[in-house]
Amino acid sequence: MKRMLLAPVLSALCTLATAQITITNATFPAAGDSLVYCVDNAPLGLTPFTTPGIAQTWDFSTLQKEDTLSVVYSPAALGIHAADYPGADLVILGQAGETYFNVTNTKFEALGYAGADPAGLGLNVVTKFSPPVYERYAPMNFFDIKSQSSFIGVAFSTDQPPLDSIFANLPVNVDSLRVRINTERLQVVDAWGTVAIPGGSYPVLREKRTDYTTTGMDLYVVIFGFGTWVDAGTVLGGGGGLGLGTDTTVTYHFFSDTEKEEIAMATMSNDLSTVESIRFKNNATVPTIEPVSAFTGGIQAFPNPAVEWVRFDCVNLTPGDYTLKIFNIIGKCVWKKNYTLSGTTSFRVELDDFKKGTYIYSLVDKQGNSVGTKRLVVLKP
C-alpha cells in the first residue's frame, strides 16, 4: 500500500521539477532585433503580485493596447557617442538619446546613456553606470536571488542656460552642480507558471525586482575665492523640491525561454496594492525594422504614469511654433502652453496642479496639424 501511494507522489514531484523552465542567453537581444510591446496604463482586475510559488496561472488576456513601443537594437558603432562606451555591443537609438549595452554569455547589461538630460533641462549628458547594470542574466532559474548596486554621477557648469537663471538669485556663488544617482536592486525569481496575454500563452519565470534609487545633488559653492562641494539641501533647503531622496520601485517581470521580449512587466503602486501599468509582448504587430528616431514627427511622455512631473520628448519637428494641450477625460482642455521647437528636443511640465487621473495630451503646430495625441496617466501619493 505504501509503495502504491509513493509512486504517484514521486511522479508528481518529477512533473513539477521538469515543468519549470530555465532562461538561457538565447533570449538576449542581438543586433538587428526589434522588440515590440504594448502598454496598458490602467490595467483592471489583474494580479501579477500573487504569492510566491509553483505552477501558477496569470491571466492577462484582457489587457488593452493603449500605447505601442518598438525597441530596436543596433550595432553600437552606429551610435554618435560610441567612442564614449568602448566595448559596447549594442545601442538603442532613441528619440532623445542613445543607450549602450554590453552582451556576454551570462549578462545583458546597460553601460550608460548619452543625449538629452532626463530632467528635461535642455542639457546634454554622457552618463555611465558604475558598474554596468545587468537587465538580464543567464541561466535564470526558479529560486534565483540576485542583488546589484550601481552609481551615476554627472556635473554641469551653471554658466549655461537654463542653469544660469536658476542659480542667479542665490545668496552664494554656485559655480557648478553635480547629480548623484545610486541604485540598489534586488531580484528574486519567486514563481513559475503560465501567463496569458492577448494573442498567446507562455511558460514563464516571474522575477520580482525592487529598485531603491537615491538621488542627491551637490553644489560647488565659491566663497571668498575658495570653492567646495556642499549638499544641495543645505543651500536650497530640503532639496528645493527637486525630487531628491530615495524612491522605491517594484516591478514584476515575466520571462519566457523562447521569446526575446519580456512577456509582461507590471509596475506596482508605492503601497504595492495596485498595478499602475503593464507592458506586454505585442503579438498582433509585425516588428518594425527602423529605430524610433527614424519616425517623422512625434511626441512621447516620460514617465507615464507620472507623479510630480512629466517630460515630453519630441523628435523630427519642423522648426516653428507649437502648442501643447492637455485634456481631461471628458475632453475639457485643462492646460496649454506655447513652445518654439525644432528637431529633437525635450521639455518638462510640472504636475502640481493636476489631480490623479487619465488625461490626453496633444501637440499641434500653428496650422493646427497634430504631431501626436496620446494618453497620460497622473498618479498622486
Q: Which residue type, as a one-letter code, is found at position 213? A: T
| Structural domains in the chain (count) | 2
Which residue, of 248, 281, 314, is where some domain finishes?
281
pLDDT at 195: 97
Same domain, 259 and 340: no
pLDDT at 272: 84
pLDDT at 235: 62
Strand partners, 173: 222
Cα–Cα distance measured from residue 171 to residue 174, given in angstroms and rounded to the nearest whole number? 9
What b/e sequence results for 296-329 when a residue is b if at least 16 CB atoms lie within 10 Å of its CB, and e otherwise? eebbbbeebbbbbebbbbbbebeeeebebebbee
Same domain, 54 and 173: yes
- Identify the CATH number of the domain in which residue 368 sits: 2.60.40.10
**Residue 306 falls inside a structural domain:** yes
Residues 6+ apart with CB under 8 A from 373: 360, 361, 362, 363
Same domain, 273 and 320: no
- Report pTM: 0.70
Q: Where are the beta strands (DSSP E) in 158-199?
A: 173-197
Same domain, 246 and 347: no
Q: What is the DSSP letter of 228?
A: E
Are the C-beta atoms of 376 and 303 separated by less than 8 Å?
no
Same domain, 168 and 140: yes
Same domain, 260 and 303: no
**Residue 327 falls inside a structural domain:** yes
Which residue, of 281, 312, 339, is where some domain finishes?
281
Which residue, of 281, 305, 339, is where some domain finishes?
281
Query: Could you tell me the mean pLDDT of each successive run of 10 residues in the chain, 381 residues long?
Result: 46 53 96 91 88 96 85 91 95 84 98 78 84 97 97 85 72 83 96 96 98 89 82 62 77 97 93 89 58 56 85 86 80 84 86 84 79 82 68
Same domain, 307 and 267: no
Same domain, 91 and 29: yes
| Residue appearing with cell numbers 525594422 | 289
Same domain, 98 and 71: yes
* φ and ψ of 15, to 5 deg: -65, -45
Strand partners, 153: 180
Residues 6+ apart with CB under 8 A from 84: 112, 114, 126, 128
Residue closest to 163 by CA, chosen among 181, 180, 178, 182: 178
Residue span of the structural domain in which 333 resides: 295-378
**Residue 5 falls inside a structural domain:** no
Q: Cα angle at 97 between 261 and 88, to 5 degrees? A: 65
Same domain, 127 and 38: yes
Cα–Cα distance measured from residue 183 to residue 79, given in angstroms and rounded to the nearest whole number? 26
**Residue 337 falls inside a structural domain:** yes
pLDDT at 237: 57
Same domain, 277 and 299: no
Are the C-beta atoms of 140 and 23 separated by less than 8 Å?
yes
Cα–Cα distance measured from residue 72 to residue 88, given in angstroms and rounded to the nearest whole number? 15
